Amino acid sequence: QVTLKESGPALVKPTQTLTLTCTFSGFSLSTSGMRVNWIRQPPGKALEWLARIDWDDDKFYSTSLKTRLTISKDTSKNQVVLTMTNMDPVDTATYYCARIHQVYGDLYFDYWGQGTLVTVSS
């Protein structure tokens, strides 16, 4: 059974660095083809893809946020960590982690965490 769960602070101050952890079970990120992503959603707004890390440690980032994001994995702990620097109130959102599943050439999110709401306010 695949599960993912996000954890991190509910409140951060402007200019601070946010660190979020995705702890998962039911698969290993050392297995070929496994990939984990971070996606966020401001209140009442659309989904925004942030970053992805693959089994071979390839990393991909949002174009607009790449200077502020770092994604990493700890395979032994079944965790993926996202850091976002210089937080601003516009970064207030629910942050999700999600796994990618591959069926032949098709890639899609098959499992999501429940999401964690992060509010940026002084």
Partner 1 sequence: DIQMTQSPSSLSASVGDRVTITCRASQSIDRNLNWHQQKPGKAPKVLIYGASSLQSGVPSRFSGSRSGTDFTLTISSLQPEDFATYYCQQSYSTPWTFGQGTKVEIK
User: Of 17-46, which residues contact partner 1 (CB under 8 A)?
Assistant: 37, 46
Q: How far is CA 85 from CA 6, 27, 53, 56, 82, in A?
A: 18, 29, 18, 25, 10
User: Interface with partner 1 by CB under 8 A: which range of 14-22, 73-81, 84-92, 113-121?
Assistant: 113-121
Binding partner 1 (rule: CB under 8 A), the pick from 3, 5, 21, 48 is: 48
Closest by Cα among 82, 59, 56 to 69 = 82
Whether 120 contacts 89, CB under 8 Å? yes
Tell whether residue 8 is a contact of partner 1 (CB under 8 A).
Answer: no
Whether 49 contacts 37, CB under 8 Å? yes
Q: If residue 105 lies in a helix (H) or strand (E), which one and from where to where?
A: none
What mask, x for binding partner 1 by CB under 8 A, covers residues 65 to 94?
------------------------------
Tell whether residue 113 is a contact of partner 1 (CB under 8 A).
Answer: yes
Q: Can you give the binding site for partner 1, defined by CB under 8 A?
A: 37, 46-49, 52, 60-63, 96, 98, 103, 105-110, 112-115
